[in-house]
Amino acid sequence: MKKVTVSICTGTTCYLMGGAHLLTINERLDPSTLDSVEFKGAHCLGLCSNESNGKPPFVKVNEHLVSDATLNKVLDAIRKELKEIQHVS
């Protein structure tokens, strides 16, 4: 089964603007889906330099960018990706 990859930027700006709090997201995810999701910390995703990317903190859920990321925004993006994976299978 394909996994959803969640890359949380932990660069200084993202970390200070809420990225640190996002590192606890696995605690908020339904335990039955944890095997389908892979979490990674990313030293820096390099997205702050381009204003068109939005505001930090940044998270990538597979290839989808979540800017101004909150736990709820990231959880919604993960759920959407899980549905797409299940739909394709």
Q: What is the pLDDT of residues 38-89, one digit of tens each?
A: 999 888 999 999 999 999 999 999 999 999 999 999 999 999 999 988 776 5
Model pTM score: 0.90
Residue type, 39: F
Which residues are bridge partners to 7 per DSSP? Answer: 40, 60
**Which position has the token pair 């290839």?**
63
Query: How deeply is 59 buried, as exposed, middle or buried, from its count of CB atoms within 10 A (0-12, 13-18, 19+)?
Result: buried
Domains of the chain: 4-83 (3.40.30.10)
